[in-house]
Structure formats: structure tokens, C-alpha cells
Amino acid sequence: MLMKHKRHPHRFQIFFSLLVSLTAANAFGLDLSGLSDEEKGLAIAVEADRRDVGFGDNVASMVMVLKNATGASSTRYLRVKTLEVDGDGDKSLSIFDKPADVKGTTMLTFSHGVKPDDQWLYLPAAKRVKRINSRNKSGPFMGSEFAFEDLSSQEVDKYQYRYLRDEVIDGKPTYVIERKPEYKFSGYTRQIVWLDQQEFFVVKTQYYDRKNALLKTLVASGYQQYLNKYWRADQMLMQNHVTKKSTLLTWSDYEFKTGLGNKDFNQNALKRVR
């Protein structure tokens, strides 16, 4: 769920106008003076991406807690592998280890920019790989409040941007930007994103449905820095304001630059994962 920047020709003029702002980035944020709100929003997204380039690959453990409207909960345990791809979006592999009814279920994602993401789901009970329809990415992932499209890396070119305001959250200044999906089959009309002004990680995201009503809110917390550069949240809480359900993701055991390659992220890998 990271922002990644890939250039498209139709945005060349905007990127050119941002060069001064981006080279002026420092520990206190960006110099956004003289830019339109659209240029400011894009500059913030590009800088957030720049801060996360070069991690190569990582693996992590994740606990997923699903809670319904009455407070009843269920817990799932996963491993997640991610591969950074030069010139395209990240590749990721999510592997369910327990409980027994979901053990071995695995999702493979190839993230892209404006082009639809490629996603496949391996269901061990059926012993087959199912391709996720590119028009159905708004559906829930394994009964959680995260949609399939929420789980791909957030490429910069997936959205149009607009700066809204500065806002202080928990004593720290954030940039608040609006992003509208370029992908016509997205389940959202827009998202409002809060980014830390010093480190440019995402603090909060609000998701608006196709009727432009607030659907969900994601809050990320407990950020830690790895390799003296890359920030990752310990927890991500997604709350659905319509169903009153929630999903809490708790991350641990991060390892970077483990030697993963393309051979570890293909449809055959889905079946052989243990």
C-alpha cells in the first residue's frame, strides 16, 4: 500500500514544473510556493514515493483481526513478501498460514500505474489459481474491510491529485491531499490522504464510494524506520462506516533485501508456497 511513481507522457509538463520544488525537499518538507493545488498534491505524492525507492524486497509477518458490527472477532495469520520492480509497480505475495480453513490461500499481485493491476488467488481446497477480474477490485479481500485494490502498491499514476490543507494530527503537521482514481473500475470516487510532513508516510486515508459518500477510514500507526530510510507502520486499522465492521492489521518481523526475485512471484509460486 505504498505510493510508487511512474512517468506517463501526458504529465510531462506538470513534472517539469515540479523540479524546483522536488529538489528543494528537506527535513521540513517541500517548498510548495508558487504551485497550484493540483501541482502541490502531485509534488507531495511524488516526494512520498521518492522516499521509498530502493528497498529492493522485504518480507513480514502479519496478524489480521476481523471484527463485525457486534464486536465478535476472528484472527488470521499471514506472511507477506514484496518485490520492488524498476519501471512498474511492486509485486506482492500474501500467504495465509492459519487458521486451518484458510491455510495455504495465497494472493499474488502485480501492481501497475493506470493499467489495471494483475491479481491471482490460489485456493488450496480447489487446488487451482483464480484470476481476479480487473473490474471487480472493489470486492472485499478474504472477508476483510480491505478491497483488492487497497492491497496493491499505490502507484502515483493511479490518481489525480489536489492539495487541500495542512492539518496537525497527534501534535505533528500533515499534508492533506485529495486523490481521484484514474482507473475507471475503481470502487472509489476519491480518497482523502493525510501524510506526515517530515517523513511523508501516510497517517490516515478516507475512502469515498461511487456515490461520493464516506465509506471507510484507514489509520496507520506505530511507524518504525528500517535501514535508516524506509518507514513501515506496525498497525493499520480499516473501519467501514456503513457496515460498522473493521479489520486490524498488525505487522512484525520485517526483513529487507532478502534476495527475492521474479521467480518467487509468478503463478507457479502460488502453488508451491509453504
| Assigned domain for 222 exists | yes
118 domain residue, yes or no: no
Please give the pLDDT value at position 29. 53
The pair phi, psi for residue 152, each rounded to 5°, is: -85, 155
- Asked, for residue 124, whether it belongs to a domain, the answer is no
pLDDT of 272 reads 73
pLDDT of residue 223: 97
Question: What DSSP assignment string belongs to 104-148?
Answer: T-EEEEE--SSSPPEEEEEETTTTEEEEPPTT-TTSBSTTSS-BG
Contact between 159 and 182 under an 8 Å Cβ cutoff? The reply is yes
Q: What is the pLDDT of residues 36-69, one digit of tens each?
A: 999 999 999 999 999 999 999 999 999 999 999 9
Q: Does residue 89 fall inside a structural domain?
A: no
Query: Looking at the domain assignment, is residue 29 inside a domain?
Result: yes
pLDDT at position 274: 58
Residue range of the domain that includes 221:
3-54+152-253
Integer CA distances (angstroms), 140 to 143, 209, 264, in order: 6, 14, 25
Q: Per the domain annotation, does 164 fall within a domain?
A: yes
Helix (H) or strand (E) run with residue 172 in it? strand 172-181
Single-letter amino acid, residue 176:
V
What CATH number does residue 219 fall under? 2.50.20.10
**pTM of the complete model:** 0.86
Is 62 domain-assigned? no
SS3 category, 232 = strand
Q: Is residue 144 part of a domain?
A: no
Residues of the chain with pLDDT under 70: 1-29, 114, 134-137, 273-274
Q: Are strands 159-169 and 154-155 parallel, antiparallel or unpaired?
A: unpaired
Can you tell me whether residue 44 is helix, strand or coil? helix
| Number of domains the chain contains | 1
Q: What percent of the chain is modeled with pLDDT above 90?
A: 63
